């Protein structure tokens, strides 16, 4: 899959523990494009809520990670992480990063439902 250098599509994550009936999937280019459009629409009205009262006007310029999960109801979910810049931590870490830097924020996209939400503190179970 040919992707821009600031995009990281992950196949799985050792940092997250999935439920018994959940599994990872690799989002397609089309699913990434759809997710980005859903995120952009969400940020138009929810930007300060997402990143500590900071307005996010440059989403397309941010470095991003995408991680796909199929939940226990067979629903596709795409987790999106963003970063201001690409340092060695993001580039070398081919795993899902749980918090990193000033511009970091994470969103959950439900591509089939075309909705986006901010994860709660209990969303991620770390390994």
Q: Which domain holds residue 37?
A: 7-117
When pLDDT is cut at 50, 70 and 90, the band that residue 127 belongs to is very low
Which H/E stretch holds residue 109? Answer: strand 105-110
Q: What is the pLDDT of residue 92?
A: 44
Within a domain: 123: no
Within a domain: 87: yes
DSSP string of 32-99, one letter each residue: HHHHHHHHHHHHHHHHHHHTTT-----GGGSEEEEEEEE-TTS-EEEEEEEESS--HHHHH--S--S-
Number of structural domains (the chain) is 1
Within a domain: 96: yes
When pLDDT is cut at 50, 70 and 90, the band that residue 59 belongs to is confident
Within a domain: 100: yes
Within a domain: 2: no
Within a domain: 122: no
- The model's pTM is 0.77
């Amino acid at each position: 899959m040919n992707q821009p250098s600031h995009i990281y599509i992950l196949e799985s994550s050792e940092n997250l523990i999935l439920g018994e009936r959940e599994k990872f999937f690799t989002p397609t280019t089309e699913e990434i494009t759809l997710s980005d459009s859903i995120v952009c629409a969400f940020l138009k009205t929810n930007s300060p809520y997402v990143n500590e009262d900071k307005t996010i006007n440059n989403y397309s310029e941010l470095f991003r990670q995408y991680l796909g999960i199929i939940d226990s109801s067979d629903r596709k979910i795409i987790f999106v992480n963003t970063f201001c810049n690409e340092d060695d931590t993001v580039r070398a870490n081919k795993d899902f990063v749980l918090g990193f830097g000033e511009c970091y924020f994470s969103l959950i996209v439900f591509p089939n439902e075309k909705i986006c939400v901010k994860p709660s503190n209990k969303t991620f179970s770390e390994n």
